[in-house]
Every structure is written in structure tokens, then in C-alpha cells.
Amino acid sequence: MTIPQLLLCLSLSMLCISSKPTEKKDRVHHDPQLSDKVHDDAQNFDYDHDAFLGADEAKTFDQLTPEESKERLGMIVDKIDTDKDGFVTEGELKAWIKKAQKKYVYDSVERQWQEFDMNQDGFISWDEYRNVTYGTYLDDPDPDDGFNYKQMMVRDERRFKMADKDGDLTATKEEFTAFLHPEEYDYMKDIVVQETMEDIDKNGDGYIDLEEYIGDMYSHDGDADEPEWVKTEREQFVEFRDKNRDGKMDKEETKDWILPSDYDHAEAEARHLVYESDQNKVGTAPPLPGGAPARMSPSPHPAVSAGAGPAALDFTAQRPSFPQR
């Protein structure tokens, strides 16, 4: 059995296990935290280190010598500065922080890529994915476990085609990432909503009513009394989820529920780092890995300045260097 088939079996088997009466299924997608550290620059810059590098990479930096830290950070800055103009803008910094925030997503794709790219051409076709994932199951039209693999395959094919932007039924690594993690991509969010509604909408009317909403996250299992959190969810549905008060959630209401417009931590952190970099107006960035400020030479255009175009950090003259802690 291949790894994808094993994962499919495990995920399906979990669907057969009845939830405990007091357990709550959470379908809401939230961005992962930038760091589990307290964000208090007056005490230390550990939060900023984790946000900038990712928690795992930040730990690695703690073990480097000042010279190694300087060299490694210089390489990172080159990657952040995507337009290669010698400045790191707030937008570039936000994109980098989001990439670090989503590292678990990219790591997941890397682990699975070789398994699906059967001909090693650097792409994954729908046929490759289908054959690796469903090949053995499709040979048996009536499996003992009772799952309708053909129906599941049709659903996967629909999502694959949605992720495949150019419509050639072949996924690049980015498209395959969108297929595996659609909640991370704006153009895939409609399919996330559609699949969620298909899962919960038991009567097939195209909406999610209150009982379907509760039934998806809670199994009565013979209990007469509902847990307090279930009562709270009923109130949430009536007061907040069902915005037009028609007793059910449509696509937009479902989207607002499972894909909320959360506070953008990556944007806030990028703005924070750029702002702090200009506090003394002499081109000094806040401390990054290593504990000391990143030195940046003054330039004719201030690193961050109102009226001077996009806020940017100037890395043109000198790479950051960090004395050892």
C-alpha cells in the first residue's frame, strides 16, 4: 500500500469513529500563530525572530556563530527582496512572514511530491494522482468498508481542476499545494465552501439549517441533555451565523463562518518591523536573529519615511551582522 492510500484509509477510518458526545468538530480555518512567544519588545525580540524566520529556523539561528548568522541572514534578505532593488518593502516582508507562517503546508507538499510525480517530470498530472490514490480501490466497485471511492474521486477531480489554473490537468508544485490545502488560497475558497456545504447539507436543499449545523459538530449519542457549548453554538447560529435570519446559512454565510476574515498577523508584524526600523531615523532595524540590531546604512531615501514612496528597509550597503549573545 502506498503512503497516499494509507493516509486515505486512516482518514476514512476516522470518519467511522463516532465523536464523543461532548467533543466539538471545528470547521473554521484560522491562520497558524506566528509564534507562541509573548510579543513584548521591551523584554526580548523572540516573537519577532519566530515570525521572521519561523520557529524551527529561529532555533537554528540561536546555535550559529555571528559570522554564520550574518551569512545566513544575508541569503534570507536576498530572498525577501523579490524585485532585487536593494530594499525590503512592507509588502515583501509580509509575503516572507506568511511563507514562514505556512511552512507546515509546504513541508507537507514536499513530503508527498515524489510519491505522486510518478514519471519524475516535475509535475503531477490528474492521472498520476488518481492512480496512486485510488488505483487499487477502483478495481473493486463494492468495497467492504462501504465507502464510495468513485464519488470521492469525482470530488477530488473537481478540486484538482479548480487548483489547475491553466487547465492542462497537470499541477505545478504551487497548484498541487492549492489542491492539498485549498483554504490557503483565495481562488480555492469557493471549493472549500462547496465541499463543506455538501458535507453538512443532509437534505440537499443547498443550505445549512440549524439542526444540520449542530449535527455536524455534535452527536447526541442517546444523551438527553446537550452540553453547554452546544447551546452556545445554537445561539451563535441564530445571532451571528444566519445573518439574514431565514433559518439557514447560504454560501456567503457559510464562507463567513469557516473562512473568517481574521486579523492579519503577518501584515501587522511586517508593519511593526518596518515601523521599528525607523524609530531612530538613522537606518537601524530592530533586532533579528542573534539579539542585536541589523545595521543598515543611511541612504538618500529614508528607510521608512512618509511621502517617500513605499515603506522599505535599505539593505544595499551592508548586510546585517549580529554579535553573539
DSSP state of 276: H
For the CA atoms of 99, 101, 104, 109, the dihedral, rounded to the nearest 10 degrees, stands at -20
Task: Decide which of 271 and 200 is more confident.
Answer: 200
Task: Say what the pLDDT of residue 120 is.
Answer: 95
* Mean pLDDT of the 305-316 span: 38
Percent of the chain topping pLDDT 90: 36
CA-based nearest residue to 191, from 152, 163, 153, 149: 163
Residue 278 has pLDDT above 50, yes or no: yes
| Whole-structure pTM value | 0.64
pLDDT at 131: 93
Contact 320, 287 (CB under 8 A): no
Mean local confidence (pLDDT), 18-37: 59
Condensed to tens digits (0 to 9), the pLDDT of residues 168-210 reads 999 999 999 999 999 889 999 999 999 999 999 999 999 999 9
49-94 pLDDT tens trace? 676 776 667 777 777 788 887 787 778 778 888 888 877 788 888 8
Indicate if the alpha-carbon torsion angle 229, 231, 233, 235 is positive or negative: negative
Report, as an integer, the average pLDDT of 34-57.
Answer: 64
